[in-house]
Homo-oligomer: A and B are copies of this chain.
């Protein structure tokens, strides 16, 4: 099969009316490369959905991408996972806060961020794809760890529901860079700029019950984390 490019061009139009960003539309992007870059940098997203009584919920949950879908998982008994199998529309949003943008005026004070909102209906991921998709979650969290841990058994796998949402209907929105002040404010005598924020690693904490040999020989994903925390 030829290598079909998955990415829409960087100036791709919104895939649907509801994904079209209205506020600060100049910060919006709809191309797959931008969407995937933001999604792949995330550990969690927030899922908005309605329940059988029409109540609306907003629940944080681990999420990860495999191909053109974003995935969530949990216990079969989860209220969220049951509602997401109702066939009703839902939305999943990922947001990274990158900094506080201190302008010279209160009004132009802002934040830097990267976000993606995905609209659609979740669908169940059944075996055998289910196991592969769960392995991809562990690979996302800790590359290489899948081969080192006690793998899920039949009972654990059966107790877990995995759902996926197509990234076809996704919108990205980003702000970066310095404040944008009104021209007449530029001479205002106050420090202006960005206070950057980053979800940063800190030194790994071995479980107190960790086998001493295992604690003394952390796997690459833990050593890399230590390096990032130190650097």
Contacts and interface: CB of A to CB of B under 8 A. Distances in A.
Contacts of A48: 46, 48-49, 56-58, 91
29 contacts: A22-B78, A23-B79, A43-B197, A46-B60, A46-B93, A46-B95, A48-B57, A48-B58, A56-B56, A56-B91, A58-B58, A58-B92, A58-B93, A60-B115, A62-B111, A100-B141, A102-B145, A105-B152, A106-B151, A150-B185, A179-B207, A191-B206, A191-B218, A191-B219, A192-B209, A193-B222, A194-B205, A194-B207, A195-B201
Contacts of A178: 205, 207-209
Interface string A13-47: 00000100011000000000000000000011011
Contacts of A132: none
Interface in A103-130: 103-107, 109, 111, 113, 115, 117, 119
Contacts of A102: 141-142, 145, 222
Contact of A199 (B78, B197, B206): B197
Contact of A206 (B44, B93, B95, B192): B192
Which of the four size classes fits the interface of chain A? 35 or more
A214 interface: yes
A203 interface: yes
A16 to B, nearest CB: 11
A204 interface: yes
A172 B222 CA distance: 30
Contacts of A4: none
